[in-house]
Amino acid sequence: MTRRPLPAGLFFLGADTRAANRFLRREVAKEGSQEFRRLQAYEKLCFKGTRIDIGHVLVGIEAAARNKPEPRTSIPRPDIFLTWGGDLGSALEGYIIDRFFFPTTLMGTLWNYLTDHYAKNEDLVGDIDGVTLGAIYDSSLSTAANLRAYYSNQGQRRFQHFLANTKNDDGRTPALPLEPNSNPPRLGKPAHDFIATNVVAFADFVLKSKLVMNALTKKIPNDPLPRAAEDMLNVSSPEITMITNYFVNFIELGLAAEVARAEKEK
């Protein structure tokens, strides 16, 4: 399969599955072809009872800082914008666009946008696996060998490794610290703030840029966002709090399961 660079839209909008599928159909494998069916068959994998969106994993690997990603549209943190931050932020951005500009296409509540469309469990698992794989990727080995090594070892402690490999903007200090002596493990306030800040950063960046782009194509007017939409982009808004808690709960449940498994194996 010939590898081609991802179009600007994928880097601009994050790891959007629908955009990625359109790109695959157009540039990589003709829809209906044997190659396309093979790619499609491995889009979702199941490893030891956990569904994983492998496309999210691969994007996470390429977005890692150590792999020197070069998005055609400049973004502050490709490792976040193109993984979990992009998925969570896309849910809010998509909800705002539909609610305020295309209400006839509204797909339910913001919760529906999160859990049914943009940030499903298998998407988030792929995101956090991609973050860790991007941090430990051995360029002397094939991608397949890196995946095999990870899923036979670190993949059993994916949540612990995700926390260890998610850093603040300084690239050194942990961005998602736990509360001291919490059992089961609980993310501290700095972790909540970091998640909320990055979700807002992605949603605000993409939403306002998309409005400009769509105005140029006459799809929607290039008007300021309604006040209600602007309010949703506040880090302390009910919408951001809900999204943050959704991701925090996903991480904490995973950590608790890993701790329980380790205790059982003693």
Listed by start position, the domains of the chain span: 68-265
Identify which of 97, 11, 121, 111 has the alpha carbon closest to the alpha carbon of residue 62. Answer: 11
DSSP assignment of 59-125, as one string? HHHHHSGGG----SS--S-HHHHTTHHHHHHHHHHHHHHHHHT-GGG--S-HHHIIIIIIS-HHHHH
3-state secondary structure 231-246: HHCCCCCHHHHHHHHH
pLDDT for the residue numbered 48: 72
**Nearest Cα to 14, choosing from 155, 119, 137?**
119
pLDDT along the chain (266 residues), means of 10: 34 42 46 59 68 87 79 79 94 92 88 93 95 92 88 86 95 95 94 98 88 61 79 97 98 95 82
Q: What is the pTM of this model?
A: 0.82
The Cα diameter of the chain in Å comes to 63
Pairing between β-strand 50-53 and β-strand 44-47 as defined by DSSP bridges: antiparallel
Cβ contacts of 108 within 8 Å, gap of 6 or more: 116
Please count the other Cβ atoms lying within 10 Å of the Cβ belonging to residue 162: 25
